[in-house]
Structure 1
Amino acid sequence: MNTPPRRILIAEDDATSCTLLDLTLKKWGYITHCQANGEAAWEFLQKPDPPQLMILDWMMPKLSGIELLRRIRSMENAPPFYVLMLTTRDSKADIILGLNTGADDYLTKPFDPGELQARVRVGFRVLDLQEKLASQIRELKKASEHIRTLQGILPICSFCKKIRDDRGYWDQVEAYISRHSQAQFSHGICPDCLQRHYPDFSDTEES
């Protein structure tokens, strides 16, 4: 099954740099969304299903890349984002500030295409691992809910011993447990039921 192209948000106010990034990333098969400043990029992120990987310039009008990064990291219930800062600011203090603010990676201009490609690939690998981990957590949560269902108080009929499930339906005990666990049943007859339902056979066994 073919996977859809990966999407990248570019926030870059310099038209030449933005065009170069756009053409380079498209050549590698990515879909790009170019925004001319931090404010426009922030508004784009409010739309449904925003790109999870983004490349941000530091110095932009209206909203700088570092301020945009702060907003991104303060978003509640947001999907995981991978942020690559791309800037001419290459001092150790700037790199530390960018990473401490929430950048996942840092690349200085002018960028080397091979290095950019490698770092973008790393970003998508990290996002894929995060999604895989989140999926596993959802599966564990689902399994935990099943376990809690079996550990809780089960409404059971005093006469026929059927169990009422969470939808209000009544099931045989074995049907309910089979649906909520991996247990399998084999059927037999206990001594009391053997004597009650098959007294002749029971007498024969006792003699």
Structure 2
Amino acid sequence: MKILIAEDDPTSRRILEAVLTKWGYEVISVSNGKDAIDSLLVRDAPDLALLDWIMPDKDGTEVCRFVREEKTMTPPYIILLTGKGDKKDITKGLDFGADDYIVKPYDKDELLARINVGRRMIELQHALAEKEKFQGVIEMNGAICHELNQPLMVISGYSEMLQMDLSEDDPAQEMLKKMNDQVHRLGKIISQGKYR
């Protein structure tokens, strides 16, 4: 899993990079809020972000707000990692769209535990997104089956009307019966596909 680190202090950034890499994460690092936003809005963006609050260009809360305004199926899990530990700051950070908040200096075990919570939330988001895609396919399948049934009903109706107009010994009766049988067979196949 990819994790974005947005931290303007180079020493703090390198320590986080080393810790996260040791834990097996793919790390992308930036030093300002603008680059953090750019990194989170690309295709195949990191699923989790550790943002410092105070950064150049845009601060961590501005990054949170901007990313949350971009409605996506699987938004990143954002943890603010900052020295601002006042309860009002924590509330403000969460209100701006952070999912979690860790006060510096942080404990590595707590950081790992909170990242694990984020990973579980991300896995649930991805599972839900897949389920919604699958539901869309099922609904589209139903609509296609309905559209295919309409012309089959017309063909069946006209062939039955033609059969009624023909005498019993007319050679076309057998052809129309075969055609109608095949139309009904196709209708059953479509119905079975509709409910799978």
TM-score, normalised to structure 1's length?
A: 0.75
- Structure 1, residues 50-81: CA drift from partner, whole Å, max 9, x if none? 10100000001111111111111111446321
Conserved in 1, the CA contact under 8 Å of 2:50 and 2:80?
Answer: yes
The match for 1:173 is: 187
Figure out how many residues of one structure are paired with residues of the other and give that number. 171
Cα distance, 1:92 vs. partner?
Answer: 0.6
SS at match of 1:89: coil
Paired residue type of 1:134: A
1:33 aligns with 2:47: no
Paired residue type of 1:10: I
Structure 2 unaligned blocks of 5 or more: 160-178
1:51 aligns with 2:65: no
Q: Distance in 2 between matches of 1:145 and 1:40?
A: 39
Percent identical pairs in the alignment equals: 35
SS at match of 2:44: coil
- Structure 1, residues 142-174: CA drift from partner, whole Å, max 9, x if none? 2233344555662121223466xxxxxx97222
Cα distance, 1:38 vs. partner?
Answer: 0.8
Structure with more helix by fraction: 2
The match for 1:68 is: 63
Q: Distance in 2 between matches of 1:66 and 1:19?
A: 22
1:15-34 equivalent positions in 2, closer than 5 A: 15-34=10-29
1:10 aligns with 2:24: no
Cα distance, 1:139 vs. partner?
Answer: 2.1
The runs of at least 4 consecutive aligned structure 1 residues that moved more than 4 Å come to 148-153
The match for 1:155 is: 151
Q: Distance in 1 between matches of 2:53 and 2:113?
A: 21
The match for 2:125 is: 130
The match for 1:79 is: 74
1:94 paired residue among 89, 97, 116: 89
TM-score, normalised to structure 2's length?
A: 0.79
